Chains A and B, each alone.
Chain A
Amino acid sequence: MAKCPECDADVKVGVDAVKGEIVACPDCGAELEVTETRPLALALAPEAEEDWGE
């Protein structure tokens, strides 16, 4: 478990979480990136840029 950097809520991720995975904060809905798994660390995922997409 780690804190949401946006709203400070407790965020849990699955045991199979991997570095770089995107999760949503259950409280504020912010998109978070798993930056470390042991110990778990979360950062705000980058905002979409112009050339993002499929």
Chain B
Amino acid sequence: MMEKMIFGRYVPMDSVIHRMDPRSKLLLVFLFVCIVFLANNLLTYILLGLFTLLMLGMSKIPFRFLYAGLKPVVFLVIFTLILHLFLTKEGELLFKLGWIEIYEEGLRQGIFISLRFFYLILMTSLLTLTTTPIEITDGLETLLNPMKKIKFPVHEMALMMSISLRFIPTLMQETDKIMKAQMARGVEFSSGPIKDRLKAIVPLLIPLFVSSFKRAEELAIAMEARGYRGGEGRTKYRQLVWTYIDTIILTFMAILTILLILFRT
């Protein structure tokens, strides 16, 4: 449980994708989400599929982790596939059995749309499976840096984000402690009528708020004592390094985009 709180879905491993710069991974996934909608015929879907498989292969993520992300939607995808099969009545009639009629266009649409859906889920999961949330935050901060020109507080946002990531496990522990303390006094959290269970949350939340403000005060003093003066000229503990791998993979992505634009009908 605790592990899950700190790293989200991150699967620690050593692979090309894990070593990629979070910036290029963010760009990659963002572009991919955009270009997935360009595909509209067999060739373009195969190209996208090959790219997705290549990325998944390079990430070395075991299949069960990917499946865990797909599981909630598999049913939905099958449902939409069936809807398309039976409801789209265009193109040639392929199959007829009593009242069941399957048309060419329905089959095509159904399969393409399910594929597109799988590609989207797999690629977005790939980002969260191979990158820790703190790396994503760092990546976003540097990517959004140009926004500083229009007075958008990029550094402050990233700081708040990292603090909140850092304190999720701590506050979870605290919640657990308060819960046990209240249980020792006879509060029931997991049984009884809903109304009572809701009321039981109140003596949990109030100490949590008060203690988190105490922590905030202490952290503010500590940061001041160490000379925190905002983002200007601040150095970093985790440096982002752009390597040749990032350039190669983004070039691949660019080629894929061009191919998609050329081959789409």
Same assembly: no
